[in-house]
Amino acid sequence: MNFDFVPGDRVLFYDDFTADDVGDFPRRFEFQEGNAEIADWEGGKWLRVSKSAKFAVVLPETLPERFTVEFDYVMSDKSTSGWPIMLNMSGAGSNWENQGGHNPQVRFDTDEGGAYVGKIEAAGPAGGNFQNQVNHARVMTDGKYTKVYINGVRVGNAPNADLGRSNKVQFWIPATDRSGAQVTLMGPVRIAAGGKKLYDALSEKGRVATQGIYFDSGSDGIRQESAPTLKEIGTMLKEHPELKLTIEGHTDNVGKPESNQTLSEKRAAAVRQYLVDTYQIEGARLASKGMGQTKPVGANDTAEGRQQNRRVELVKN
């Protein structure tokens, strides 16, 4: 599936809209134009766009050389008239969404996406037409090298698509149905700085936190988009047969401490078993341990901190 996406390990921005009231515009987004509000859908909060909206996520620093952007979306041809979601990271001025030849863009649609920088169009099909369902949008950038993914498929692969850098990620979300019956939905947004390869970080510090292992909410069920990070771990263990690890599960402080402890233990054990089953790693090389909410690495009073605390760590034995 060409899905080699690995999320950045230092969270610059995270918002799942839990702090926003239904009917409000997200307080952490910088509104520019359109009509959008928080709505409940499928057990979570989403940004409901009923008229094409433009806004920006303001970051605490300029985007670094390596960074990733992740969000979910739901759209259809009826809701967008075929227009894609567009992103800009270069700090372009007004009307940037209509000036693709002058301002670098990343685009996501129901059936294709990619990076558009000047005369460079690194775009391709997503392997289906995913209308009216939750789609996973991912961008991974290292210098001028940009990769774009939709639902586990790499749709854009450009070694010279320089997206630029600023302290903003700008979004244009299409919604063109004048009746308001057909809308576009946008889910949680995560923007992170890229980190070192797992083995390099593990060799340097003896432990490394992974942000790319995802679980179903309140469960130890490993989600499909965890595959690239798990593959990196499995490959690392095969290439270094002397390596023995303890897999630690960590949570934020939302919920009861005893429940978080149990959940962290189950998630760590699930990762261990996945590596044993999928990559035939000898079980004696891997231990698992749940830490619950006892070892935070970020402040639990911010969305970014809580997101950073929900992690799996690999510890060299």
Pairwise CA distance, residues 63 & 56, whole Å = 14
Q: How many CB atoms lie within 10 A of CB 142?
A: 13
Asked if the 198-316 domain carries CATH number 3.20.20.70, the reply is: no
Which pLDDT score is estimated for 41?
Answer: 95
Q: H-helix or E-strand containing 205?
A: helix 198-205
pLDDT tens digits in sequence order for the chain, 317 residues long: 566 788 888 899 999 999 999 999 999 999 999 999 999 999 999 999 999 999 999 999 999 999 999 999 999 999 999 999 999 999 998 889 886 667 899 999 999 999 999 888 899 999 999 999 999 999 999 999 999 999 989 999 999 999 999 999 999 999 999 888 899 999 999 999 986 678 888 888 899 998 889 998 889 999 988 988 999 999 999 999 999 999 999 999 999 999 999 999 999 999 999 999 999 999 999 999 999 999 999 999 999 999 999 999 999 99
Q: H-helix or E-strand containing 38?
A: strand 29-41
Dihedral sign of CA atoms 241, 250, 1, 171 in order? negative
**pTM of the predicted structure, to 2 decimals:** 0.86
Indicate the domain borders of the chain.
10-193, 198-316
Which pLDDT score is estimated for 245?
Answer: 97
CA 250, chain centre distance (Å) = 18
Q: How many CB atoms lie within 10 A of CB 108?
A: 26
Pairwise CA distance, residues 296 & 291, whole Å = 10
- Which of 193, 137, 143 lies closest to 3 in space, CA to CA? 137
Give the right CATH number for 10-193 from 3.20.20.190, 3.40.50.2000, 2.60.120.560, 3.40.190.10.
2.60.120.560
- Both tokens of 142, joined, read 């290292």
- Both tokens of 98, joined, read 């209509």
Dihedral sign of CA atoms 280, 285, 290, 294 in order? negative
Q: Is 159 left (phi over 0), alpha (psi -120 to 50) or beta?
A: alpha
